[in-house]
Structure 1
Amino acid sequence: MITLFISDLHLDECRDDITQAFLRFLNERAPQAQALYILGDLFEVWIGDDGMSPYQRQIAQALRQLADQGTQIFLMHGNRDFMLGKGFCREAGCQLIREQTLINLYGQSALLMHGDLLCTQDREYLRKRWRLRNPISRWLLRHLPLSTRHQLARKLRAASQYHTRNQAQKITDVTPEAVQSYMARYAVQVLIHGHTHRPTIEPLKVLGQPAHRIVLGDWDRQAWVLEVTERHQYRLKAFPL
């Protein structure tokens, strides 16, 4: 038995290479897994379930086909697709999970996160995140006309890209204090997250005990997949697009 973890695909119609790699993954590799966890930023942008494009419905149908074959699919919000809702999940046959989710991974507790909350030095981003994610903002966004949401999404995406390019690398990466704090709070020795686009398996100690932080890679130049076996083997693999 294996469980698969991916994040930061940033699926978009203009990146057919990523789309085709993901569809191959769903058809060839994912059906062998007991479960698939998508830890945020499945899509480059999401303006609401009522604004699903034919391309996004194609992705939902591919996920539904995998779910119908018996693989459980769990989906977490990222910073680009935090408006994903129950409508998409029903169509895709997946379950939406919280931003901090504790799972039993073959007898071992693991904490799952998208990863942006671990970047505590990036205060400008965290302030914008709070403003966009609070319930009032979400309600307002859902009730804007689709054309307005499209315009806003383009502006937010451009601002995010500019911010990332112009910030020092250490500011947009996680802080060790945040990693330690979350892992100690949830009493886990395994943390799996994405967001930073810096794939690694990092050994560390939490409360004096051996632990690991596993960072998923983004799907840009190659596709990154974490495989976890029932024997607690963690394999972070990269595949060509």
Structure 2
Amino acid sequence: MSNETLFISDLHLTIERPEVTRKFIELLTTRATQARALYILGDLFDTWIGDDDFSPPINTVKKHLKALTNQGIPVFYIHGNRDFLIGKRFSEQTGITLLDEYSVIDLYGTSTLLTHGDLLCTDDLPYQEFRIKSHATEWQENVLSRPLIFRLLYARWYRLRSYFHKRKKSQDIMDVNQQSIQKVMEKFQTKRLIHGHTHRPAVHDLQINGQDAQRFVLAEWKKDSASFLSWSESGYKVESI
């Protein structure tokens, strides 16, 4: 096992994107097998309608995640805006550990805040309202109690609806709010933040209470491009698959 920690997000796995699934399996069966830990910061799947869903490529992904955790490699997961219904059953089937929406880890001596990133997009008021509603226990229980075929059809409708809604929104509204970043990093007393969601990979330097800080934005995985953030005691690298 090497002394490095890997971070990924926004793979949006679906049957329509087999190339991305193959890249993920490649990571799980090669580089990740030597890692200290793997953190998946949300939206591994393009949609998630319940732990009883068996649509491709879910079973394949489960199998390879379980194979990795069986080797003693810890895998941690933070829910995204697309797969926030991933639950205990999926966790047990794969061996992954589900983390809170904001989680702080000690990353080689530096307190580091992890999140998916959607909570930081506070300018997108309609989405934030939906997020509050959809994360309520009553709403989730109501959705998950419906027949699987109904949830599959609903997921397709929601994806189409989301696509057209995004076309109407400005890119700035869908990006993170700088004041929200400041507040959350002050709240958790961290000088490093790692997140995904915005599909705007970059490393941002900033100031938190007069001290140097950094924000790392993970990349979305696509058919022709996929990358991960690797961290070791000597620092970080952004690597392509």
**TM score, norm. by length of structure 2:** 0.96
- Percent identity between the aligned chains? 43
Q: Which residue of 1 aligns with 2:231?
A: 228
Moved over 4 A (4+): none
Alpha-carbon distance, 1:28 to partner: 1.2
Alpha-carbon distance, 1:14 to partner: 1.4
Residue among 3, 8, 27 paired with 1:6: 8
Q: Which residue of 1 aligns with 2:221?
A: 219
Q: Which amino acid aligns with 2:177?
A: T
CA distance in 2, matches of 1:2, 1:201: 19
Alpha-carbon distance, 1:236 to partner: 2.1
CA distance in 2, matches of 1:54, 1:219: 18
CA distance in 1, matches of 2:73, 2:165: 37
User: Does residue 123 of structure 1 match 2:125?
Assistant: yes
Deviations 1:71-98 (A, max 9, x none): 1100111011111011111111111111
CA distance in 2, matches of 1:106, 1:68: 24
Kept in 2, the 8 Å contact 1:34–1:70? The answer is: no
CA distance in 2, matches of 1:32, 1:138: 37
The structure richer in helix per residue is: 1
Q: Which residue of 1 aligns with 2:40?
A: 38
Q: Which residue of 1 aligns with 2:60?
A: 58
CA distance in 2, matches of 1:164, 1:61: 33
Deviations 1:8-33 (A, max 9, x none): 00001111110111111111111121
Kept in 2, the 8 Å contact 1:223–1:238? The answer is: yes
CA distance in 2, matches of 1:54, 1:164: 26
Q: Which residue of 1 aligns with 2:79?
A: 77
Q: Which amino acid aligns with 1:155?
A: W
CA distance in 1, matches of 2:54, 2:89: 10
Q: Which amino acid aligns with 2:219?
A: G
Q: Which amino acid aligns with 2:43?
A: D
Alpha-carbon distance, 1:55 to partner: 2.5
Alpha-carbon distance, 1:54 to partner: 5.2
Kept in 2, the 8 Å contact 1:226–1:237? The answer is: yes
Kept in 2, the 8 Å contact 1:9–1:218? The answer is: yes
Structure 1 unpaired stretches of 5+: none
Alpha-carbon distance, 1:52 to partner: 2.7
**TM score, norm. by length of structure 1:** 0.96
CA distance in 2, matches of 1:77, 1:194: 11
